[in-house]
Amino acid sequence: MFLPISKKDMEKRGWEQVDFVLVTGDAYVDHPSFGTAIISRLLERFGYKVAILSQPDWRSAEDFRRFGKPRLGFLINSGNVDSMVNHFSVFKHRRKRDEYSPGGKAGLRPDRALIVYSNRAKEAYRDVPVILGGLEASLRRLGHYDYWDDKVRRSVLLDAKADLLIYGMGERAVIEIAEALDSGIEAKYIGWIRGTCVRGTLSDADEETILLPSFEEIREEKRRYGDSFALQYRNNDAISGKRLMEPYGKEGRCVVQNPPQPPLEREELDQVYELPYERESHPVYERAGGVPALKEVKFSLVSSRGCFGGCSFCALTFHQGRELRSRSIDSIVREAEELTKKPDFKGYIHDVGGPTANFRHPACEKQLKSGVCRNRDCLYPKPCAQMKVDHTEYRQLLSRLRELPGVKKVFIRSGIRYDYVMADPDRQFLWDLCRYHVSGTLKVAPEHVSPRVLASMRKPGKEVFEQFSGLYRSINEKLGKKQYLIPYLISSHPGSRLSDAVELALFLKEHHFIPDQVQDFYPTPGTLSTCIYYTGEDPFTKEAVYIPSDLEEKKMQRALIHFHKPENRRLVKAALARAGRSDLIPILAPEKHRKGRKG
């Protein structure tokens, strides 16, 4: 049974009042790939009454009174994606489609949804606590560069005038907050819970607290912005992370970030993913054709959380964290068995993974005792000698899933770290991958090939990708399979000059790769790459980094990756001329393009 979305639904359950109204910018999908579903079902399990206010009319406060006054509070998220990313392309063009809305319809949530929803909730019931959560809250929890305004904005806790903010994966924090509110403690006094940000003053600091540069400093001085980012990055671990304070103004006001919550352990993750989800979008959306975002994940299985990959353009470091945890094989198999009973299941499990599919364990034993390293990455510039490389359990999981009655094929689509695969002396996982889990093409993410750009991305050198490509090709030949690689690439990333884009184009031509997906670098809150983009330097080394911010150059860099497309010929020729490589025009921009093939 879905949770109530109307007063009528409440009455059917015999509820006179709900404990929490959960407000979200997404359509209501009761599936564990959606944060709204996880938090609401978890609160339900602990005995709280939760109603879902999905994509409310924000133009007045009336919709926020739909269920009456909640007893404990409003829980607000903008949806699975930052509302500004959801609405705008990297070129700041408004998107015409919203995958998280009924029928893909755009315009059903406001820009900066957390701020708008919070203000409306306060307008509806001024004395009811407002707690922010989800990705948008997590990555905007302190002062941050905002690409769409092209300026440094305050913590969203302040701009939204909310009472509390939950960052990271919020299961533990939301239950602790619920219990505190239920015991009669006012929201303004709930300041101790890990994984939260609260208002405070400088007088609240103790000897363990780290004072960040003030908001005024990071707004006025880019280097101080980088200093703040580096401190935050090094204190984002549950074991080693300290309490942080970001001062605002001359009155001693602060936003206080408590240390992160520890990641959920295996048994806890199993419990979260085995809550009684409907695993469908609410029936109210059937007339619109359902919610498009569900289609890709409906028959997918989340096996892990966290990622020690450390890519500089990824926000996972600040949201899920670098310390990895995974679910048990038995739990995942039980979920798969439930999927096979769905009437629309066709025999295909679309994905088994997480942020990185082939990570199943913390990177090393040290992380369990001392936390993640503050000044070292697990895989960059090369795999750490202390890292545990082992695909055994993942292979066992995939084998169990393949053997289930009704399962025809188990795909891996969430991406693998090929440098982790190459670090494993046992090649059996790659054999299994080619034999059972690829259908024609395998998508991997080298992102670039230029050493300068890869260093900025914190990705392995191109030789690792070439070694993986050769091994992948060799295994498929031995298996008698015609299967190819399709690379994911990022254009215009910090550090990338036109000469680097030319180098990438030549690599693609030499290896006969035709990229399927190319993403222009998108500066989103909470990533190292965004910090570099805004400040023009690496916050850890203070070395200057080239930033391709000119719109015409960005278009040229993207066109060079898709040099094979006739419509890109003009831009490719211009790019080669600007880069001083007009000699390459007959190679990369000939008069007649020949059809390429996948690598």
Q: If you write DSSP's letter for every residue of 102-160 in order, what string do you get?
A: GGG-S-SS-TTHHHHHHHHHHHH-TTS-EEE-SHHHHHTSSSEEETTTTEEE--HHHHT
Query: Which uninterrupted H or E stretch holds 247?
Result: strand 244-248
Pairwise CA distance, residues 490 & 487, whole Å: 10
Work out the angle at residue 169's Cα, subtended by the Cα atoms of residues 165 and 173, and round it to the nearest 5 degrees.
55
Pairwise CA distance, residues 498 & 330, whole Å: 50
Q: Sorting pLDDT into bands at 50, 70 and 90, what band is 593?
A: low
Task: Report pLDDT digits (tens) over 194-231.
Answer: 999 999 999 999 999 999 999 999 999 999 999 999 99
Task: Report pLDDT digits (tens) over 169-189.
Answer: 999 999 999 999 999 999 999
Pairwise CA distance, residues 486 & 441, whole Å: 7
Cβ within 8 Å of residue 127, ≥6 positions away: none
> Does residue 30 surpass a pLDDT of 60?
yes
Per-residue pLDDT, 516: 76
Q: Facing residues of 211 across strands?
A: 245
- Per the structure block, which two tokens stand in for 311? 């890519």
> Does residue 479 surpass a pLDDT of 80?
yes
Cis omega (within 30 of 0) for bond into 381: yes
Q: Taking all residues of the chain, what is their mean pLDDT, rounded to a whole number?
A: 96
**Do the bridges between strand 441-447 and strand 484-491 make them parallel or antiparallel, or are there none, so unpaired?**
parallel
> Does residue 596 surpass a pLDDT of 70?
no
Helices within 542-599 (DSSP H only):
551-561, 569-578, 585-588
Pairwise CA distance, residues 387 & 373, whole Å: 12
Cβ within 8 Å of residue 108, ≥6 positions away: 25, 27, 55, 98, 101, 102
Region 85-102: mean pLDDT is: 96
> Does residue 431 surpass a pLDDT of 80?
yes
Amino acid at 509: K
Q: What is the DSSP letter of 252?
A: T
Query: Which uninterrupted H or E stretch holds 533?
Result: helix 528-535
Rg (CA), the chain: 24
Q: Angle, nearest 10°, between helix axes 35-45 and 171-182?
A: 40
Per-residue pLDDT, 296: 87
Cα atoms found within 13 Å of the Cα of residue 308, Cβ hemisphere only: 29
Task: Report pLDDT digits (tens) over 268-308.
Answer: 999 999 999 999 999 999 999 999 999 989 999 999 999 99
> Does residue 415 surpass a pLDDT of 90?
no
Pairwise CA distance, residues 451 & 390, whole Å: 28
Residue 28 · residue 281 · CB < 8 Å? yes
Query: Which uninterrupted H or E stretch holds 446?
Result: strand 441-447
- Would you call 150 exposed, middle or buried from its count of C-beta atoms within 10 A (0-12, 13-18, 19+)? exposed
- How many residues comprise the chain? 599
Amino acid at 78: S
Residue pointed to by tokens 């990338």: 496
Distance, CA of 140 to chain centre: 13
Listing DSSP states for 195-208 in one string gives: TEEEEEEGGG--TT
Q: Nearest CA to 303 among 205, 213, 391?
A: 391
Task: Report pLDDT digits (tens) over 321-346.
Answer: 999 999 999 999 999 999 999 999 99
Amino acid at 285: Y
Task: Report pLDDT digits (tens) over 141-174.
Answer: 999 999 999 999 999 999 999 999 999 999 999 9
Amino acid at 284: V
> Does residue 114 surpass a pLDDT of 90?
yes
Task: Report pLDDT digits (tens) over 49-60.
Answer: 999 999 999 999
Q: Facing residues of 353 across strands?
A: 302
Region 496-505: mean pLDDT is: 97
Region 372-398: mean pLDDT is: 95
pTM (global) more than 0.75 = yes
Q: Angle, nearest 10°, between helix axes 428-436 and 462-479?
A: 60
Please report, for residues 177, 418, 478, 542, the alpha-carbon distance to residue 473 in angstroms, rounded to integers and kept in the order given: 52, 14, 9, 41
- Tell how many helices (H) and how many strands (E) occur in the chain: 24, 22
Q: What is the DSSP letter of 270?
A: H
> Does residue 518 surpass a pLDDT of 90?
no
E strand spans, 327-406: 348-349, 351-353
> Does residue 517 surpass a pLDDT of 80?
no
Backbone angles phi, psi at 157, to 5 degrees: -60, -40
Residue 485 · residue 507 · CB < 8 Å? no
> Does residue 598 surpass a pLDDT of 80?
no
Task: Report pLDDT digits (tens) over 15-27.
Answer: 999 999 999 999 9
- Per the structure block, which two tokens stand in for 169? 């994966």
**Do the bridges between strand 351-353 and strand 441-447 make them parallel or antiparallel, or are there none, so unpaired?**
unpaired
Q: Nearest CA to 530 among 165, 246, 140?
A: 140
Amino acid at 124: A
Q: Facing residues of 256 across strands?
A: 198, 245
Residue pointed to by tokens 């609240």: 204
Pairwise CA distance, residues 85 & 66, whole Å: 28
Per-residue pLDDT, 317: 87
- Give the chain's largest Cα–Cα span: 77
